[in-house]
Amino acid sequence: MPAREYRGRVVTLNDEGFLVDSSQWTPDVAEAIAEEVGLPPLTDRHWQVISFCREDAAREGQPPGLRRISKMAGVTTKELYELFPKGPGKLAARVAGLPKPQGCV
């Protein structure tokens, strides 16, 4: 598994770029991953989704999928696609330091 340094913090990634150990995640790591994948600077709305994903994954034992995020995080599906284009469930999980959600290709 490859290691990667984000803003001075070394993390372990899987082959798809997801953190292997979510405890290695920090907000700085999230911002660096967001830059790496081409997202604009993270806004309060991005952080709302990221925080929801991390809290929900801690409760449920797995990262939330797109439908769960749009129903429970206070953002519409359309807004999720604006915030995290090209696969918002997968991209939000990656920035949040979580594994790829089940059902994401």
Active site residue 104: yes
**Pairwise CA distance, residues 77 & 62, whole Å:** 20
Catalytic residue among 21, 29, 104, 105: 104
**Pairwise CA distance, residues 45 & 22, whole Å:** 21
The 3-class secondary structure across 55-89, one letter per residue, is HHHHHHCCCCCHHHHHHHCCCCHHHHHHHCCCCHH
**Element of type H or E holding 93:** helix 88-95
Q: Give the active site residues.
A: 104
